[in-house]
Amino acid sequence: MGQFTVIFSSIFPVDCHFIKGRLEREGVNCFIDDEHIITVHPFRAVSVGGVKLKVSRNDLSRAKEILSLIEDGFLVDETGVYSLDEAFDNECARQEKILGLRSRIRQDPGLLEDDKILGQIRSLCDDPGGFIAIERKYQEYREYRFRFSWEEFWTELLDFEGNIFRYFRRTPHTFHLEEELLDLSIRKQPPDIQYICPICSSDNVTRSSAIDHVWSLRVIISVFIGAFIIGPGIYIPRIKCHCFNCGNNFSERRYGKSAPDV
């Protein structure tokens, strides 16, 4: 153990893993010590000195150089030193282009056969084949038509978990969430509408389909009344707001630009 030196420590294991991944990317051998102690006994993190990231003494100077660059907002790769802010901005721009590409393909699936579009996919995506496979799969989801069966309905209703919402929504949640994301990218939300979290008062909130299978009396009654009056197979989508600041999921609370304190 004397041949290794602690170069970074934290009470949160994930911090060490982030640095470890960066160092290993640069060819620096390192390992994490006391991680399991902190995981089993989190309140002993300070007493044991936190989780420690250790490197070989032969790599110590190189590791310090990399950590110094990270603290100053820079990273290093085979092309040289580059700014984290610049890399972040470039990645945001790339994701915007990919999102726009997805929007065009969702509106016109035939573009997947266009050589120009395929060229853009290859230039923008790390895994062009995976991108194309996902888009073809989403086309299948869009063409899916729900077929109601009383036998399957009662089987799912009386099942131990009783996830009726899962029965009515056979397509995965990611499909509906991406549909909403792409829809928002096409028609932007009016700037005078904000959703305020009732827990932390943050406006870092998005409004979309609920991704859980939580029951509510209103939805249960709506489903049964709709099944017997309108016809079987009626599904009432549930819309909720999600706060990215505190993780709270809540029903819609819409305010204007001058949102009151909650």
Last residue of a domain, one of 17, 42, 72: 72
- Is there a domain that residue 262 lies in? no
- Give the alpha-carbon dihedral of 193, 194, 198, 199, to 10 degrees: 170
Q: pLDDT at position 257, please?
A: 39
C-beta atoms surrounding 8 within 10 Å = 22
Print the domain residue range for 188. Answer: 150-255
Same-domain status, 137 and 154? no
Last residue of a domain, one of 45, 72, 99: 72
- Is there a domain that residue 260 lies in? no
Q: pLDDT at position 122, please?
A: 92
Question: Which portions of the chain are predicted below pLDDT 70?
Answer: 1-2, 77-78, 146, 156-173, 176-177, 180-181, 183-193, 209-220, 222-223, 226-238, 252-262
- Is there a domain that residue 80 lies in? no
- Is there a domain that residue 77 lies in? no
Total number of domains in the chain? 3
Same-domain status, 212 and 237? yes
Q: pLDDT at position 259, please?
A: 39
C-beta atoms surrounding 205 within 10 Å = 19
